[in-house]
Structure 1
Amino acid sequence: MKPKIAVIGTTFMDCKGFSKHQYDPYGRNLGDIRFFHGGVGRNVAENLAYLGLSTFFVSTVDNSALGKEVISRLQRTKVNTEYLTFVDEKGMGMWLAILDQKGDLAGSISQMPDLKLLEKHIVEKGSRIMETCSHVVLELDLNRNISYQVVEIAQSQGKPVYGIPGNLEVILGNPELLLFTDCFICNEIEAAKLIGKEISGQDMTVIQEELKSFVGKAKLRAMVVTLGDRGAVYYDSKTGEIGYQPALPTRVVDTSGAGDAFFSGTVMGLTCNRPLSEAVTYGTKVASWTIQMAENTCSAIPEMMRKDEHFKALAKILDKAVI
Structure 2
Amino acid sequence: MIARCTLAVLIALTTAQTPAAANEPSPDLSQSIAADQPLATGRAELSAGHVDLGPRYVDNRWTLLIHDGTQAQPVWRNPDETVLRVSDAALQTVPDDPAYAFLGVDAGERVYVVPQVQDPDVVWLGWNTQDPRVMQNIDRGVTLTLLGVRGPGTLTTYLQPGNFAAPEPLWRSTEPEAQPFWAEVNTHTHANWVFTAPGVYLIAVQASADLISGETVSATRTLRFAVGDAASTDEAYSAIADIPVPADQASPVGDRAEAAEPAGAPTTLRIALVALAALFVTGLLLLLLRGRGVRRQAEREGRTSLPGGDR
**Does the alignment reach a TM-score above 0.5?**
no
Higher strand share: 2
Q: With structure 2 as the length reference, what TM-score do the two structures score?
A: 0.25
Q: Which has the larger radius of gyration?
A: 2
Higher relative CO (CA 8 A, sep ≥ 6), structure 1 or 2? 2
Higher helix share: 1
Q: With structure 1 as the length reference, what TM-score do the two structures score?
A: 0.25
